[in-house]
Structure 1
Amino acid sequence: MGLYDRGYYQNEQDLDLRPGWNQQSAVSQLIILNVIVFVVNLLFGGVTTAYQGSVNEALALQSDTLWKPWAWYKAITYAFAHSSREISHIFFNMLSLYFLGRTVEMRYGRKEFLKIYLLAALFCGVLCMVIRGLRPESATVLGASGAVLCISMLFVYNFPNATVYFFIFPMPAWVLGVIFVLTNFLSNPGTGIAVDVHLFGILFATLYFFLGWNFSKLQDPMEGVQSVQKWWKRRKLKIHVQDDPTLSDDELEAKEADRILEKIHASGKDSLTGKEKKFLEKYSQNVRSKKRMGS
């Protein structure tokens, strides 16, 4: 009997929440990104004793990162680097993200899920950077475990009675959550596992769920890129009259065309600059093209 014949997990409402591969989902894209970084480090990172490759060296948190402001970006990039010494590090992180993260993404939506994941990674990274920076011993931190554990605990909190399989053993999701917490609390810090990062991830999920956090007001990164593109396009128009941010790009272009035509009426065509002539010519072509399409 296959994995999906028995069901990897089922929630208490008997909904079919089994994950599937969707290249457009945040889970799939995060997995792809982590695997790409892992492979690039293996192929081109070379061998360094401390950081297991130059790519990991550029991304991982070190104990002295706190005292190097130019390296504070590592408080987020560490979560996309994984140990090159053992494939199990990235394998189990991505496996957990795949099986539990897809349902969490469906629960919160793609944008909110991505914000949760990235902010959890940043939360873990900043706390780890501060704590490790105040310790005398040398340490390197890398891996998505903190963010993945945050997502896993959100699954537990949202679907506590869902049946999950821990290896081959079925159990309610809340039992798996207890296992997550106890194994990290009772782990020996000397094993080389960043237990504190794991606990920070669990803490972030707990705060998010029980305090009712919502990051919908935070701007989506892609929306930010689109805003910059729109600003640049408007800047190139060089509109001399008062700009109305509620106007569409077409309305702004029409407004600029009216201004240029008024300038021609007042001072003649020879008064136009080269850019104004080029804009008016392009605008006229666009108008004629739209009329042909509409006819």
Structure 2
Amino acid sequence: MGSNNRDYMRDEIGSGLPSWGHDVPTTKWLIIVSVGLFFAQTIFTHDVSLDDSAVPRVAVASLRSSVEPVAQAMFAVTKSYAEEWLLLEPDKLLHGQIWRAVTYVFCHPRNAPFAIVFNMIALWYLGSSLERMYGSREFLWFYLASAAFCAVIFAAFSLKLYLPQPLIGANAPVLAMLALYATHFPRRELLFFGLIPIQIRVLLLIYVVVDVFQILQAFKGEGPWTRVAYMSELWGAAFGYLYRQQNWRLEGIAEVFDFGRLKRSLRRATTSRNLKVFHPEVSTSGLDEQVDAILAKIHEQGSESLTERERSILKRASEQAKHRL
């Protein structure tokens, strides 16, 4: 663990302003990829008929009852190629498209641009400090693992509930970062909506209380459980808290999937199997004298005193004697 992870260094590191430079490459590239994908979602789209089998019947009925008359006549909806391959759809995840467990956090709703703006500002502010504290590789694994953690919970809900929409957005890792940041700097203040100063721990508490209230409503039958299934921010906050309390370190996961290291290990194992042990042959000249010396040693010290070389000489002499017969 580097000096940046020591307790007495954290205040100094965390007190710095968020940065956009060589010291936080993971934060920088997470933002670049997310923003780039948002534009790809918006630009690369295609029309899908509402009667198409790709659109759920429940969604078709909902759209037909809510869209304007002109749109009702067209019965079409625009879909994004990126969203079709990257969003978290539980049935596709359970059928082997495991990349969706993390790729959904790089997409954001096209009709809500403020969602990506808020998440990217939070990623820049929180991620810069956390990456300097934990290191770039560990921070990347933390970001992706928080997404996968929430994906598993979302998929578990889908086994019992019909979830009409896929999961999208970076709410899970953002709240995971907020929870982890709050465990380090609970009293640090930021400007909520750019206007209201609020402590990090208070902001986190507001998110948690609102979500817990909705869970209680669902228990009482006053709210739908489907709303609870989409609370990725709550599961993300739980992951961030557990990460700090359990002192997890996720960078070791990379070693398990280090295919270069696995390839080298297999190469060494294959090479060792193909190696042949070289046993120097005993010269035929003077073999009888060597045998006589070995027999004398057996007479004086017993056969247990023989070395492997001496035993091999006796075996060779025995084989030669058999060939002469």
User: Which category describes the TM-score, using the shorter chain as reference length?
Assistant: 0.5 to 0.7
Q: How far apart, in 2, do the equivalents of 1:241 and 1:12 lie?
A: 51
Q: In structure 1, how many angstroms separate the alpha carbons of the residues matched to 2:151 and 2:13?
A: 37
Please show how residues 1-295 of structure 1 align to structure 2 within 5 Å: 16-22=15-21, 25-47=25-47, 52-65=79-92, 68-167=94-193, 168-186=195-213, 195-219=230-254, 224=258, 227=261, 231=264, 242=272
Q: State the partner residue of 1:272.
A: none
What SS does structure 2 have at the residue aligned with 1:70? coil
Q: Which moved more, 1:162-171 or 1:27-36?
A: 162-171
Amino acid at match of 2:249: N
**How big is the shift at 1:124?**
0.6
C-alpha displacement of 1:52: 4.1
Alpha-carbon distance, 1:191 to partner:
10
Question: 1:153, CA displacement in angstroms?
Answer: 1.3
Counterpart amino acid of 1:20?
S
Q: What is the Cα deviation at residue 173 of structure 1?
A: 1.7
CA contact (8 A) 1:63 1:132 kept: yes
Aligned residue pairs total 227
Across the aligned residues of Structure 1 and Structure 2, the Cα RMSD in angstroms comes to: 3.3
Distance 2:213 2:261 in 1: 47
Q: What amino acid is aligned across from residue 26 of structure 1 in structure 2?
A: T
Deviation string for 1:123-144 (max 9, x for gaps)?
1111111212320342221111
For 2:116, what is the secondary structure of its paired residue? Answer: helix
Q: Which amino acid is 1:96 matched to? A: A
- What displacement does 1:75 show? 1.6
Letter of the 2:16 counterpart: L
* Structure-2 separation of matches of 1:116 and 1:135: 28
Residue 225 of structure 1: CA displacement? 6.0
2 CA distance for matches of 1:38 and 1:121?
18
Match of 2:295 in 1: none
* Partners of 2:149 and 2:168 in 1: CA distance: 14
Q: Cα–Cα, structure 1 residues 52 and 198, in superposed 2: closer, same or farther, change >3 Å?
A: farther
Amino acid aligned to 1:141: L
2: CA distance, partners of 1:113 / 1:100:
11
Match in the other structure for 2:323: none
SS in 1 for 2:172: helix
Instruction: Tell me by how many angstroms 1:89 deviates.
Output: 1.9
Structure 1 spans left out of the alignment, 5+ residues: 1-10, 244-295
Q: TM-score, normalised by structure 1?
A: 0.66
Q: Which has the larger radius of gyration?
A: 2
Q: What does residue 246 of structure 1 align with?
A: none
The SS at the match of 2:252 is coil
Name the TM-score, length of structure 2 as normaliser.
0.60
* CA 1:28–1:240: 2 relative to 1, 3 Å: closer
CA distance in 2, matches of 1:52, 1:92: 24
- Paired amino acid for 1:115: W
